[in-house]
């Protein structure tokens, strides 16, 4: 059966053309939008800087620049699966160190998170490809063949349970994270950057918005981060941005955000070459793509990022 592609509506086509022209205007000769490569003429060494701030706060831009340079320092011009796993583990450790420092400065008793509290583990979790590869590597190194096969079946069942549901619908006690077991994270050592960033100031509020459908609907409609400690969220976004930009702009890798359960399923079910394909610049994880915060004004606000479409100008007030 032949399929005809729908013709874009003239107005939409015009907007798309305008957008791609605007992006093209910001690219350098190597196609980079956000990063600039500086080469030392004597040593030949390279370092990266941001063409323009990515975040509102200077400390976030410094962290993002540091993370981008770490990527370049570790990979030394050549992307590989092992390199990506090492980078993800570096990013995880660095994020935890940063967040520990921030938490140490928080007023005593203000952080409500404690062991066994799992309210924030019932929602869609976003990861980058290196994080997914580090988690998969950890599973392979810590579980037996039988355990891996059982876990793969669990991943497939959870993925099927969430199929076709929106992120809002998956924010529910019915959709625990695939790694949550008896209230505990089974991959705590390699948990995603986003999980490290979540630090609540009010555990009762977390419980209410997960378990009470009305409180949940109000929370989702507000688009806010709830009663969370914002700095750790902003710290993980800064590390993640540096990792993503360096791998995407310098190494040409697909770094769009992925959904954790789906990408795990791809790694279990896909051909063994999947990870290498990604490291060669292909896009085998595209079916696991998830929402990009740059498209969501509320998420941009919480993360402190400046990237995204400019805010809409208010309609001019008619003169009387």
Phi and psi at residue 38, in whole multiples of 5°? Answer: -110, 125
Pairing of strands 126-127, 258-259: antiparallel
Our finding on whether 180 is near ligand SF4 (CB under 6 A) is: yes
Helix axis angle for 81-105 and 230-245, nearest 10°, is 160
What is the CB-side half-sphere exposure of residue 229 using CA atoms within 13 A? 26
CB of 244: closest distance to ligand SF4 in angstroms? Answer: 19
Closest CB to ligand SF4 among residues 180, 256: 180
Helices (H) and strands (E) in the chain, counts: 13, 6
Which residue has tokens 């359960």? 261
Distances (CA, A) of 107 to 48, 231, 284, 302: 36, 13, 45, 20
CB of 12: closest distance to ligand SF4 in angstroms? Answer: 37
Restricting to residues 105-124, which ones interact with ligand SF4 according to CB under 6 A?
Answer: 121
Restricting to residues 67-86, which ones interact with ligand SF4 according to CB under 6 A?
Answer: none
Contact 200, 228 (CB under 8 A): yes
CB of 151: closest distance to ligand SF4 in angstroms? Answer: 13
Tokens representing residue 59 in the block: 């400390």
Binder of ligand SF4 out of 98, 177, 245, 263 (CB under 6 A): 177
Closest CB to ligand SF4 among residues 54, 190: 190
Binding mask 191-230 for ligand SF4 (x = CB under 6 A): xx--x-----------------------------------
CB of 177: closest distance to ligand SF4 in angstroms? Answer: 3
CA-CA distance, 216 to 211, in Å (whole number)?
7
CB of 118: closest distance to ligand SF4 in angstroms? Answer: 6
| Footprint of ligand SF4 (CB under 6 A) | 121, 125, 177, 179-180, 185, 187, 191-192, 195
């Amino acid at each position: 059966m032949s399929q005809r592609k729908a013709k874009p509506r003239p107005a939409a086509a015009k907007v798309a053309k305008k957008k791609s022209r605007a992006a093209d205007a910001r690219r350098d000769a190597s196609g980079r939008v956000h990063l600039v490569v500086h080469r030392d003429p004597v040593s030949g060494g390279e370092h990266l800087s941001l063409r323009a701030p990515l975040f509102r706060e200077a400390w976030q831009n410094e962290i993002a620049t540091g993370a981008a340079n770490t990527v370049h320092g570790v990979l030394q011009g050549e992307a590989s699966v092992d390199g990506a796993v090492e980078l993800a583990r570096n990013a995880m450790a660095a994020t935890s160190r940063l967040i520990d420092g921030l938490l140490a400065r928080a007023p005593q008793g203000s952080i409500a998170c404690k062991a066994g509290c799992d309210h924030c583990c019932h929602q869609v979790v976003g990861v980058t490809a290196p994080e997914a590869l580090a988690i998969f590597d950890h599973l392979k190194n810590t579980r037996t063949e039988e355990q891996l096969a059982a876990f793969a079946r669990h991943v497939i069942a959870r993925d099927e349970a969430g199929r076709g549901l929106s992120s809002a619908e998956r924010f529910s006690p019915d959709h625990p994270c695939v790694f949550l077991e008896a209230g505990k994270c089974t991959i705590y050592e390699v948990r995603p950057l986003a999980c490290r960033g979540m630090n609540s100031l009010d555990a009762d509020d977390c419980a209410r918005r997960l378990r009470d459908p009305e409180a949940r609907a109000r929370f989702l409609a507000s688009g806010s981060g709830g009663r969370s400690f914002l700095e750790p969220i902003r710290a993980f976004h800064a590390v993640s941005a540096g990792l993503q930009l360096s791998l995407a702009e310098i190494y040409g890798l697909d770094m769009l955000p992925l959904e954790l359960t789906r990408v795990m399923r791809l790694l279990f079910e896909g051909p063994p070459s999947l990870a290498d394909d990604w490291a060669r610049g292909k896009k085998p994880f595209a079916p696991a793509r998830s929402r990009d915060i740059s498209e969501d004004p509320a998420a941009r606000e919480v993360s402190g990022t400046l990237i995204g479409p400019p805010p809409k100008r208010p309609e001019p007030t008619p003169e009387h």
